[in-house]
Structure 1
Amino acid sequence: MAGAKNWIEYSLDVELTRKQSRLLLGRLPKGSRARTEETELSRELLRKILVHADVKGRALFLFLASSGIRIGEALKLRLEDVNLNVDPPTVTVRGEYTKAGDTYITFISTEAREALEQWLRVRESYLESAANRGRGLGKTKHTVDPRVFPLSVGVAEQMWYTVIEKAGLNHKDPSTGRYKLHVHMLRKFFLSQAKLAVPENLVEAWAGHSGYLDEAYRRYSLDQMREYYKKAEPYLLINIPKDISQIQNKFQKDVDELRGQIADLTRKLTDANALTLKLMSENSELRGKLATLEKELAELKNIITKIIES
């Protein structure tokens, strides 16, 4: 049912009403619940896919791959929820958009920001065109839509299936008939790649997993989160040559190792300073004891001298 609904919405650029969706569901057979075999979504595959995406699809797919946001939540984001004027660009996912009702913060890559800026330049003309094409069909589309991506999930999914077909990657699982590459795998890509450079609990919090949010926000400040995301960003970039990516990753690892060495030397220096202060204190104490002994010895000599003379 979802595939047919998505195709209709994508082809006609409309959003079906709930009643229309229920009518469509009643006319289609129920699908299998078997687990679909998936193809691992690598950076190389994503690069091949994005070549065939239009400005809207490219912005959306890079946004999802670099932020870890669920597609349903991403399509509810308003323009004011995305701040492109900071580094890295910050996304606030409000509780009213999320499954568990929790607000969380995540980020997008510089690559995704560039694609998003290109999309925002043509977004208004897209809304006007979509409103004209969909007039009289499904829900009424308005030229004023506060969302960053004024699309339904069905349209977004059909955009994905279109580009993977153009890329020759539209393979289906023979047992379920479903695509081995689906748009939700962009979230999995983010999770696996970001964890190569950043603690797991922080990455899970960026992806909006409610079980990790409280701990992450107690442990890390927003500035610390930004710094960690910059470490993860090289692993999330798509359209860079592999050798440059490897150099970038190696450079980041070298920087991290150097920081570790500096921290170790600082600790050792602190320990050495503490030891020096301790030795100085002990030396001062010994000098005091020596002075006392010398004084007592002098007094003893005086007593012995007096005894001899008497």
Structure 2
Amino acid sequence: MNVYGDDSERLLDELRGDTSDALYHFLQDFINFMGEKKLKPKSIASYFSTLRTYLRSQGIKISSDDVKDLISLPNIIQELRVPLTKDHLKLLLDYSKPDCKALYLTLLSSGMRIGEALSLRKSDFDLSSNLIMITIQGRFTKTKQTRQTYISSEAKSALHRILKNKKDDELVFAKSKNLDASILAEEKTFVNLRKRCNLTEKYPDSSRHIITIYSMRAFFHTEASIVHDEQYANAILSSIFRETFGSLSRT
């Protein structure tokens, strides 16, 4: 509102006193102005939401129904996500260092978020059977609920060298106890790996790369979605992983 200078308070007074045309003309003019600045639809929607919040703090309430009926926002185009392919995965794994390869195979076969994987300690791994079960502590999950998942035999083999040298309370993948710092470090490592593999393609008219470290979780859900029962999907995912890719990486 500072763009209006000394007229800001006068404008707010006018908007408070008029809940019909003047208010919605002002809002539409704001959106049109953002469009003329060539901002992307998602950015315009974000700015508009911020403006609504500010106006609400000034006693000017705008209902969602009125926004839907009276305001024209640009459509946000949902891009079709490009899935990881077998060739992409093989290339990434072949160029990865052993510790990174173990992390990526774990992400690919478990469906964990990168932050969840980096929070794991050796004690979270149940090594008592052929199929390794991992317990993700609730304080590290998005839902704040503890859950369990499984990994493929290939991930198990890659993890063996790491786990045998760890104490029960030691972090398995992360180099730092600061989770945010660990996530940032892994993102940077993956960016460098992506460059070495020449997998730097971006979505059209976007700064977002097609392949990111988060693509591995998306791969898991694509594979597991063919099985409707979540518990059953977890139990057989190792078999799906092996049957789909076989020996995906060099030892």
Alpha-carbon separation, structure 2, partners of 1:165 and 1:51? 14
Q: In structure 1, what is the equivalent of residue 171 of structure 2? A: 147
Could you tell me which runs of 5 or more consecutive residues in structure 1 were left unpaired when the two chains were aligned.
1-30, 125-143, 207-225, 242-310
Alignment of 1:105-184 (within 5 A): 105-120=148-163, 146-151=170-175, 152-184=182-214
Count of residues in correspondence between the two structures: 170
Q: Which amino acid aligns with 1:190?
A: F
Q: 2:240 aligns with which of 213, 226, 232?
A: 232
CA positional deviation for 1:69: 0.6
Is 2:136–2:148's contact at 8 Å kept on the other side of the alignment? yes
Q: Which amino acid aligns with 1:172?
A: K
Q: In structure 2, what is the equivalent of residue 201 of structure 1? A: 230
Is 1:47–1:238's contact at 8 Å kept on the other side of the alignment? no
Note closer, same or farther for the CA distance 1:166–1:96 as it changes in structure 2 (3 Å cut).
same
Alpha-carbon separation, structure 1, partners of 2:150 and 2:144? 19
Deviations 1:127-180 (A, max 9, x none): xxxxxxxxxxxxxxxxx9721112411111112121121111111235222211
Note closer, same or farther for the CA distance 1:240–1:74 as it changes in structure 2 (3 Å cut).
closer
SS in 1 for 2:210: coil
SS in 1 for 2:135: strand
**TM-score normalized by structure 1?**
0.48
Deviations 1:160-204 (A, max 9, x none): 1211211111112352222110111111111111333x3343378
Q: 2:221 aligns with which of 191, 195, 204?
A: 191
Q: Given the alignment of the two structures, is residue 86 of structure 1 paired with residue 129 of structure 2, yes or no?
A: yes
Is 1:93–1:104's contact at 8 Å kept on the other side of the alignment? yes
Structure possessing the higher radius of gyration over alpha carbons: 1
Alpha-carbon separation, structure 1, partners of 2:193 and 2:164? 22
Could you tell me which runs of 5 or more consecutive residues in structure 2 were left unpaired when the two chains were aligned.
1-39, 44-75, 176-181
Q: In structure 2, what is the equivalent of residue 43 of structure 1? A: 86
Q: In structure 2, what is the equivalent of residue 65 of structure 1? A: 108
Note closer, same or farther for the CA distance 1:233–1:88 as it changes in structure 2 (3 Å cut).
farther
Alpha-carbon separation, structure 1, partners of 2:246 and 2:195? 19
Q: Which amino acid aligns with 2:130?
A: D
CA positional deviation for 1:116: 1.2
Alignment of 1:92-103 (within 5 A): 92-103=135-146
Deviations 1:1-43 (A, max 9, x none): xxxxxxxxxxxxxxxxxxxxxxxxxxxxxx9868666432022
Report % sequence identity: 28
Alpha-carbon separation, structure 1, partners of 2:104 and 2:86? 12
CA positional deviation for 1:55: 1.1
CA positional deviation for 1:79: 1.0
CA positional deviation for 1:110: 0.7
Q: Which amino acid aligns with 2:150?
A: F
RMSD over equivalenced CA pairs, Å: 3.0
**TM-score normalized by structure 2?**
0.58
Is 1:49–1:167's contact at 8 Å kept on the other side of the alignment? yes
Alpha-carbon separation, structure 1, partners of 2:213 and 2:232? 19
Alignment of 1:234-253 (within 5 A): 234-235=242-243, 237=245, 239-240=247-248
Alpha-carbon separation, structure 2, partners of 1:203 and 1:171? 35
CA positional deviation for 1:240: 4.2
SS in 1 for 2:149: strand
Is 2:109–2:237's contact at 8 Å kept on the other side of the alignment? no
CA positional deviation for 1:61: 0.5
SS in 2 for 1:92: strand
CA positional deviation for 1:86: 1.5
Note closer, same or farther for the CA distance 1:119–1:164 as it changes in structure 2 (3 Å cut).
farther
